[in-house]
Structure 1
Amino acid sequence: MDIYASTLSPALDIGAGCYLLVLTVLSIVGNLLVLIMAFKRSSRMKPPELLSVNLAVTDLGAAVTMYPLAVASAWSHHWLGGDVSCIYYGLAGFFFGVASIMNLTVLAIVRFIVSLNLQSPKEKISWKKAKILCIWTWLYALIWALFPILGWGQYGPEPFGLSCSLAWGQMKHKAFSFVITLFFFNLVMPGVIIICCYFGIAMKLYFTYKKSGNSNHVPNIIRLHRRLLIIAVLISMGFIACWTPYSLVSLWSIFHDSSKIPPEVSLLPCMFAKSSTVYNPMIYYFFSQSFKREVKQLPWLCLRSSPCFVSNSVNDNNIYMVSGNIKNNKEAPQETLQEIVESRQ
């Protein structure tokens, strides 16, 4: 039996390939735009922004190094490259997935630390600390991705034959401890930390608002933090929501016979998980007016018949921009949410 032959119908293979191709294009274009925007304003960046950039790098890395191979395999109705490419694909998927969830976890902790004193002018996160945190997420992910290569865990083809990941069915006999440890340290624990941090931020904003009384200064800060909080929660919860169905199906296959899962059913959570690399730029674009404005100002996006859109709004809820004091909003209309907020980090 050829374990790399597709168990799906030819029509479904082609459909899966087209879906992955769309994800590839959207992910590469979207995350490149995030990196371009960050590069354009690199001289004004503050340390915590590095984590947002790092998250875009993980999503872009997954799209570039993995998805083209999956698209080609789907259209060939057979996994290409055999064992070597299967191990490579499984390792890359595991590596970028763990790097993303840990980056989101660190980002939530950093935002919680910043929220402890909303009005403090002192920087709470230095460039050195931000760089160490980014490097730590990559090293942590690399260690976990290498465990199956070193014998603790195993990579193998998915049940539908057109993708590779951790061999969940085989690991229930050979590496059950790896599965339990993996789920705890890379799904349960990060999820709990993210939820607790953002809940703590929400409570802090609520009590700060209650104590502010008639002050106009504090509510403005709270309003800006609230907008940033909403976007951060959407990004974190979106990633967890994309990967939870795949995690549940994988965990189910540990305790039951995975061959009883129809290939079409096992395909859906896998495809849904891959979409996690696409939605971050979309969240930035639809929820951050300044990000949308700066994207539209790019020369190659400006149509000759329509001038580039420029906004002077001071209420833009940006993701990763940094600057001065909230009192000077009228003097610096181009300042953005994170410019105002992260100046207090």
Structure 2
Amino acid sequence: MRSNSRPQEFHDDFYIPIPLDTDNLTLFSPYLVPQDHLGSKAMFMSMSALMFFLFVAGTAINILTIVCTAQYKKLRSHLNYILVNLAVANLLVSSVGSFTCFYCFAYRYMILGPIGCKIEGFTATIGGMVSLWSLAVVAIERYLVICKPIANFAFKGHHAIIGCVIPWIIALCAAIPPLCGWSRYIPEGLQCSCSPDWYTTGNKFNNESFVMFLFCFCFAVPFTTIIFCYSQLLFTLKSAARAQEQSASTQKAEREVTKMVVVMVLGFLVCWMPYASFAVWMVSNRGEQFDLRLATVPSCLSKASTVYNPIIYVFLNKQFRSCMMKMIFCGKNPFGDDEEASSQVTQVSSVSSSQVSPS
């Protein structure tokens, strides 16, 4: 289950980076036979069960987010439109990507063939990129509204539309090239999910340049944006808290947002850091040994974001959570959340906007 530097047989639709006792690697094609040489049946079944959970939970929670926003007028704020955009991207990944992986792990190979692999890889890439950049847009919105680097800035409908459209444009720029010859979509890890080719080098697909493009433009830029915006947000809120030490509401808002920011950043890192690190390591360490089972971990973590992103960005919002519980329990909220006119983040926005001068 480890790679070595020995040259392997090359195929346009897959790559097997492990030594096998045969000169015809087509016999081990991930599109034709179960990949039992990579792991036990129990491992494949466990992965299938995990993907089934992500498919069910991710699809349900994101549909619930979209329907809840449509049903309750008070949730149709400009910021929540971006969260709905995030939910749509997550729904795409969970309903297509996670379901495809569940099905293929159950059979222990990419039973849907090269076309199915390309569809799964494209869907996961475009959904993941929209999700990632939507998180960056949310961070930018919070920074502009609360920290007010631009005097009298108001986040309006056309800003929300731009914030929803741009992530899809960027995602298409990242997801289409492997279909057109710049890199390619092939089975990864246990060969039951697909992604851009992290493995091969020095071939006609120019994989190294594409991986570096993804790392720089689709990870480093949004990650830097998120860190900058949320760090400025924390500085602003702490200044407000120091200026109003006697205000219990200001102190509470500062603590709540600090907690949410930490959770948001950690969620982002858990989701995307393993994928980005693995891709860059593969490009920088050609020929080094690695366990293919570990290559499956980043894919699982990124698909798991379809579940924990809504939990972070929606369920930690009191207003959103209250409306969702009412919808689920037919007008009753068993958790007794406050019927506040605004969510935690909105509350902080009003506090900082009226009580903190722009820096």
Give the TM interval when normalised to the shorter protein: 0.7 to 0.9
8 Å Cα contact 1:293-1:309 kept in structure 2: no
CA distance in 2, matches of 1:287, 1:148: 37
CA distance in 1, matches of 2:75, 2:93: 28
Alignment correspondent of 1:234: 263
- Please report how far the alpha carbon of residue 62 of structure 1 lies from its aligned counterpart in structure 2 after TM superposition: 0.6
- Please report how far the alpha carbon of residue 220 of structure 1 lies from its aligned counterpart in structure 2 after TM superposition: 3.1
Alignment correspondent of 1:322: none
- Please report how far the alpha carbon of residue 47 of structure 1 lies from its aligned counterpart in structure 2 after TM superposition: 1.3
Alignment correspondent of 1:330: none
- Please report how far the alpha carbon of residue 148 of structure 1 lies from its aligned counterpart in structure 2 after TM superposition: 1.6
Change over 3 Å in CA distance of 1:88–1:42 after alignment to 2: same
**Residue identity in the other structure for 2:268:** F
Change over 3 Å in CA distance of 1:55–1:221 after alignment to 2: farther
CA distance in 1, matches of 2:174, 2:201: 15
- Please report how far the alpha carbon of residue 110 of structure 1 lies from its aligned counterpart in structure 2 after TM superposition: 0.9
**% identical equivalent positions:** 24
Q: Does 1:48 align with 2:84?
A: no
Task: Point out the more displaced range, 96-105 or 205-214.
Answer: 205-214
User: Partner of 1:52: helix, strand, or coil?
Assistant: helix
User: Partner of 1:309: helix, strand, or coil?
Assistant: coil
Q: Does 1:9 align with 2:65?
A: no
User: Partner of 1:238: helix, strand, or coil?
Assistant: helix
- Please report how far the alpha carbon of residue 233 of structure 1 lies from its aligned counterpart in structure 2 after TM superposition: 4.5
Q: Which runs of 4+ in 1 moved over 6 A?
A: none
> TM-score, normalised on structure 2?
0.79
CA distance in 2, matches of 1:288, 1:129: 21
Change over 3 Å in CA distance of 1:222–1:131 after alignment to 2: farther
Q: Does 1:265 align with 2:294?
A: yes
CA distance in 2, matches of 1:97, 1:295: 25
**Residue identity in the other structure for 2:306:** T
CA distance in 1, matches of 2:266, 2:229: 13
**Residue identity in the other structure for 1:227:** E
8 Å Cα contact 2:104-2:192 kept in structure 1: yes
Superposed, 1:43-122 pairs within 5 Å as 45-117=76-148
- Please report how far the alpha carbon of residue 145 of structure 1 lies from its aligned counterpart in structure 2 after TM superposition: 0.7
Change over 3 Å in CA distance of 1:47–1:262 after alignment to 2: same
Unaligned regions of 5+ residues in structure 1, if any?
315-332
- Please report how far the alpha carbon of residue 212 of structure 1 lies from its aligned counterpart in structure 2 after TM superposition: 3.8
8 Å Cα contact 1:34-1:56 kept in structure 2: yes
- Please report how far the alpha carbon of residue 92 of structure 1 lies from its aligned counterpart in structure 2 after TM superposition: 1.2
Q: Does 1:142 align with 2:172?
A: yes
8 Å Cα contact 2:89-2:130 kept in structure 1: yes
8 Å Cα contact 2:75-2:320 kept in structure 1: no
User: Partner of 1:133: helix, strand, or coil?
Assistant: helix
Change over 3 Å in CA distance of 1:33–1:117 after alignment to 2: same
Superposed, 1:108-187 pairs within 5 Å as 108-117=139-148, 124-171=154-201, 173=203, 174-187=206-219
Superposed, 1:327-342 pairs within 5 Å as 333-338=340-345, 340=347
CA distance in 1, matches of 2:79, 2:307: 22
Change over 3 Å in CA distance of 1:73–1:204 after alignment to 2: same
CA distance in 1, matches of 2:337, 2:289: 58
- Please report how far the alpha carbon of residue 292 of structure 1 lies from its aligned counterpart in structure 2 after TM superposition: 3.9
- Please report how far the alpha carbon of residue 23 of structure 1 lies from its aligned counterpart in structure 2 after TM superposition: 1.0
Unaligned regions of 5+ residues in structure 2, if any?
1-24, 355-359
**Residue identity in the other structure for 1:196:** F
Alignment correspondent of 1:210: 242
- Please report how far the alpha carbon of residue 221 of structure 1 lies from its aligned counterpart in structure 2 after TM superposition: 5.1
8 Å Cα contact 1:89-1:164 kept in structure 2: yes
User: Partner of 1:106: helix, strand, or coil?
Assistant: helix
CA distance in 2, matches of 1:89, 1:29: 20
8 Å Cα contact 2:117-2:187 kept in structure 1: yes
CA distance in 2, matches of 1:336, 1:229: 15
- Please report how far the alpha carbon of residue 239 of structure 1 lies from its aligned counterpart in structure 2 after TM superposition: 2.6
Deviation digits for residues 67-90 of structure 1 (CA, Å, limit 9, x no counterpart): 111111111112122111111111
Alignment correspondent of 1:276: 305
**Residue identity in the other structure for 1:336:** S
Alignment correspondent of 2:20: none
CA distance in 2, matches of 1:312, 1:251: 44
User: Partner of 1:161: helix, strand, or coil?
Assistant: coil
Change over 3 Å in CA distance of 1:156–1:209 after alignment to 2: same
CA distance in 2, matches of 1:206, 1:289: 22
Change over 3 Å in CA distance of 1:29–1:255 after alignment to 2: same
Task: Point out the more displaced range, 333-342 or 185-194.
Answer: 333-342
- Please report how far the alpha carbon of residue 231 of structure 1 lies from its aligned counterpart in structure 2 after TM superposition: 2.7
- Please report how far the alpha carbon of residue 49 of structure 1 lies from its aligned counterpart in structure 2 after TM superposition: 1.7
Alignment correspondent of 2:59: 28
- Please report how far the alpha carbon of residue 184 of structure 1 lies from its aligned counterpart in structure 2 after TM superposition: 0.8
- Please report how far the alpha carbon of residue 255 of structure 1 lies from its aligned counterpart in structure 2 after TM superposition: 2.5
User: Partner of 1:168: helix, strand, or coil?
Assistant: coil
8 Å Cα contact 2:69-2:75 kept in structure 1: no
- Please report how far the alpha carbon of residue 272 of structure 1 lies from its aligned counterpart in structure 2 after TM superposition: 2.2
